[in-house]
Structure 1
Amino acid sequence: MDFEVYCDESNPEILSDRTANNYLLIGSIWIPKVYREDLKNSIKKIKTNHNYRNEIKWNKVAPSSNEFYLDLLKYFFSTDNIRFRVLLVKSNEIDRVKFHNGDGELSFYKFYYQLLQHWILSYNSYSIFLDHKVNKDINRVSKLREVLKNANLTSEIANVQALPSNEVLGIQLADFLTGIVNAKFNKKISSSSKKDILTETENYIGHKLVPTSKSENKFNVFSINFQGGW
């Protein structure tokens, strides 16, 4: 089966300044490729219904747009063909020198690998779209694809590509859902509208927003463990 994955991140600055935030997050939307047009058309319809013309972003949640974002959240949780997975990386556990040759950018793409690798299954094909960012090493995205391909010999990594978020609704949806998790774990609930959306999210999942098991396949929160163990 062919799948598409849309990704966005929050707080990458902690890779150069660990005091900037408590957590780095990288979030991802996973859909069957055949569902792409349904996703786009459904989100466009919700935008039209609310006369919402801005890019979808967690930072744009406000009282004037609250009903739009609540409807978007309802759409996500009521649609079986969309799954969300977010990686949490605790800032005070990142050791760039020991594990990443002192290179924050390298560590960022290693965390991307951890986000993606554990949900890639044999005999499927994956096209992965990242939010575009400027890298010191222009080969970071192609290297990520190469590493994923080498680790998944029984599946196909058809594409790993960076695109501007304003052109891709899947990346925008990833930004919104990642922002909810970021608000919870970095304690960044700056308005009543954002608090409403966090509360509604917890109502949908049936519990407080906490790290989940690997088997959670609708709203998966993966807190990476650097301590090892079993």
Structure 2
Amino acid sequence: MTGSRIYNVYCDESCHLEHDGVPVMAWGAVTCPQGEARAIAEAIRALKSAHGLKPSFEAKWTKVSPSKAGFYLALIDLFLADDRMRFRGLLVPDKALLDHARFDQSHDEWYYKMYFTMLRPIFAAPHRYRIYLDVKDTRGGPKTRKLHDVLANSLLDFERQTIERVQQVRSHESELLQVADLLIGALTYANRGLATSPAKVAIIDRLRAKLGQNALSRTSTFAATKFNILVWRAQGAAG
């Protein structure tokens, strides 16, 4: 494969359950060249130390607080400044509009379709991809294998030469997965219209200041490669 590179893709999701009472749902992925992953992780651990945190501290959206606001804003700035990292997200603004029966599909089947829809723009020949998912529950193993099947089959990658692997990792062991969690958390928080945490609002404001006021709420342009989202709407939904 002349010119082929390997990319790591760190995926997470938020509010993905069908009946969890939260209207918004999102998927997201942070990508980087495989050979740069360790250096990026070391830079993030150094950032943690610089802000008085243990290198093993797990950064995640649910842990954003006033006492750690400086660190989280610095982490957002690191992501924005580091050309080796990119983010791709998919946002579903209102799960109540989903009508799986109309399309003869289960919520799980739709879930995998959305994962592929989110990831598809990342893939480009002749490059190869290693996908890492956050460990969620005991169903993780079968879901991981199913996702690999869906992605490979959708790309006609029957020999698994493009999607080399799809595997689970624990988020506390992966700084890049922590960045994905943080960005997906910001995406869902902003689109729920929440303002319960000044520290979280500060992160939203920082992202909007650097990326554009509508960057978290509208489908990105094709040229937006650093932070690119698709706002997915159910067929027939208004807006």
- After TM superposition, the score normalised by the length of structure 1 is 0.89
**Partner of 1:172 in structure 2?**
178
Tell me how far apart the structure 1 counterparts of residues 33 and 213 of structure 2 sit (CA, whole Å): 27
After superposition, residues 133-212 of structure 1 pair within 5 angstroms as 133-134=136-137, 136=139, 138-153=141-156, 156-208=162-214, 209-211=216-218, 212=220
- Structure 2 contact 217–231 (Cα < 8 Å) conserved: no
- The CA deviation at 1:137 is 8.2
SS of the equivalent of 2:213 reads coil
> Does 1:29 pair with 2:35?
no
Percent identity (aligned): 30
SS of the equivalent of 1:12 reads coil
- The CA deviation at 1:138 is 4.7
Q: Output the amino acid matched with 2:122.
A: W
After superposition, residues 37-116 of structure 1 pair within 5 angstroms as 37-53=38-54, 54-89=57-92, 90-99=94-103, 101=105, 103-116=106-119
Unaligned stretches of 5+ residues in structure 1:
none
Cα gap change, 1:184/1:137 in structure 2, threshold over 3 Å: closer, same or farther? closer
- The CA deviation at 1:153 is 4.1
SS of the equivalent of 1:134 reads coil
- Structure 2 contact 11–30 (Cα < 8 Å) conserved: yes
- Structure 1 contact 214–222 (Cα < 8 Å) conserved: no
Q: Output the amino acid matched with 1:40.
A: A
Tell me how far apart the structure 1 counterparts of residues 71 and 109 of structure 2 sit (CA, whole Å): 37
- Structure 2 contact 13–26 (Cα < 8 Å) conserved: yes
Tell me how far apart the structure 1 counterparts of residues 91 and 65 of structure 2 sit (CA, whole Å): 25
- Alignment: residue pair count: 224
- Structure 2 contact 61–186 (Cα < 8 Å) conserved: yes
C-alpha RMSD of matched pairs (Å): 2.0
Q: Output the amino acid matched with 1:98.
A: R
Q: Output the amino acid matched with 2:50.
A: N
- The CA deviation at 1:105 is 3.0
Unaligned stretches of 5+ residues in structure 2:
none
